[in-house]
Amino acid sequence: MSVARPRERRAIAARERDVPRQELRARPVRLVPAGAAEAGPAAMPEATPVTDGVSRASRRGLDAFAFFVANLQTGFGPFLAVYFTQAKWTQSDIGFALTVGSLVSLLGQVPGGAFVDAARSKRFAAGLSVVGIAASALALALWPQFLIVLLAMAVHSAASCILTPAIAAISIGLVGHARAGERLGRNASFQAAGNGVAAAGMGACGYYFTNDAVFYLTAALVVPTLIAISFIRADEIAPPARPAPGAQETGVLKVLLGNRGLMCFAACMALFFLANAALLPLAGSVLTLRAGDTATALVAACIMVPQVVLAVLAPAVGRAAERFGRRPLLLVGFAALPVRGLLFATVTDPHWLVAIQVFDGISAAVFGVLVPLIVSDLTRGTGRFNLALGAVGTAMGIGAAMSTSFAGVMADRLGTHVAFLGLAVVGVAGLMLVAAIMPETRRRAG
């Protein structure tokens, strides 16, 4: 009796089903035709590994974008004052130019966030702001006249108000809310590395060439920055959650002021920056008096130490925020501030003052991750994330603006020792406010 030979089954290539992007970012489901399933493992085609539905190119592109954005922004740091001084500007003109930038930055936070919310393409918003920053750097290098400098400073500040929320929106859109903490921590780490590399490179550029070469270099950095963002795939950035029915009819101010958690968080952050912003300038003054010729190197070390700590800790902070919640980490970030202020008030050795800056790095790592993450928690489903992030940024800017005047008055009338203690007391008040009114904002799965 003859037995019919079974027909050979040809493996059919597996086809990936289009899966709607969800908050939990489950791995894409692969549907396999029955014939391929029966053929066994040998018939399965090799597939490119996918992590959480985000391609490697998009993840690496966002890493590089965060790094090069930090490079761009470093060019507008302490190098501005050096450049203006070399150009024979008076201190009043320098102060006025810097004030224009600060005012635009303060007033532009909310409109910048609203622009990003309204923009259909977050990549376009980020790219547009990068071009604006590069154009302002080029204008500073080519035409250092007073009116053009004022315009360049305003353009830079306005573009920065768009860039910060755009990066946060792209990050959360790529990985989803459930993995946002880890992604934001990774961003902060690459930005800290970018700040350090750019500070060293631009310092060397200004030393070996001219100070305006720093701004030519800053403008040139637009090329790798735009290349980096081009690797982020637009189809992998999930659109923001649509507002609940009727939310569009509610005014913006009512949406913000009616969010109790958001208002509590903004108040806490304003108090933190009221205590924090003046600590390093005040410590720099103390170092100048105590260290003499080595003061410049020690101040530079005070700037670099927090960046190193931030680069190392930020990814761990992001993971911890997803595992343990936001509130415990928020308390740690606030607690580091009064400890730092108290140590500044009691320690006299200039080298130990540099070591104390480790606490600044701890706070920077915590808030670099938690500020956008908590705002995202509090505005889920409203379509107002970037607007709310701008509002919190405005509160932080107000606190920072008041801090230097507050500390300066105390230092002039009562001495730097009392000024440090006063800032530490404000930091304790901020910590107590967080413990009293700030809720846990993480939503548990299910």
pLDDT band at 18 (very low <50, low <70, confident <90, very high): very low
pLDDT of residue 267: 95
Q: How far apart are CA 278 and CA 280, in angstroms?
A: 6
Q: How far apart are CA 375 and CA 441, in angstroms?
A: 9
CATH homologous superfamily for the domain 52-238: MFS general substrate transporter like domains (1.20.1250.20)
Q: Could you count the other beta carbons within 10 Å of the beta carbon of residue 323?
A: 9
CA dihedral 345, 102, 123, 19 (to 10 degrees): 50
Top pLDDT among 303 and 3 is at 303
Mean pLDDT of 174-189: 92
Top pLDDT among 429 and 9 is at 429
Do 52-238 and 251-441 fold alike per CATH? yes
**What's the whole-model pTM score?**
0.79
Q: How far apart are CA 432 and CA 416, in angstroms?
A: 24
pLDDT of residue 303: 80
Q: Could you count the other beta carbons within 10 Å of the beta carbon of residue 308?
A: 15
- Every domain of the chain and the residues it spans: 52-238, 251-441
Let me know: does 358 contact 305? Beta carbons within 8 Å.
yes
Mean pLDDT of 172-180: 90
The closest alpha carbon to 315, from 194, 184, 191, 197, belongs to 184
End-to-end CA gap in the chain: 61
Mean pLDDT of 258-278: 93
Q: Is pLDDT above 70 for 131?
A: yes
DSSP-derived 3-state class of residue 357 = coil
pLDDT of residue 200: 82
Tens of pLDDT, residue by residue over 322-374, are 999 999 999 999 999 999 999 999 988 888 888 999 999 999 999 999 999 99
Tens of pLDDT, residue by residue over 26-43, are 444 444 444 443 344 333
Q: How far apart are CA 179 and CA 312, in angstroms?
A: 19
Mean pLDDT of 19-23: 43
pLDDT of residue 52: 56
Tens of pLDDT, residue by residue over 83-112, are 887 788 887 788 888 888 889 999 999 999
pLDDT band at 241 (very low <50, low <70, confident <90, very high): low
Tens of pLDDT, residue by residue over 58-87, are 999 999 999 999 999 987 876 787 788 778
DSSP-derived 3-state class of residue 441 = coil
Q: How far apart are CA 143 and CA 219, in angstroms?
A: 14
Q: 251-441 has which CATH code?
A: 1.20.1250.20
Q: How far apart are CA 411 and CA 331, in angstroms?
A: 28
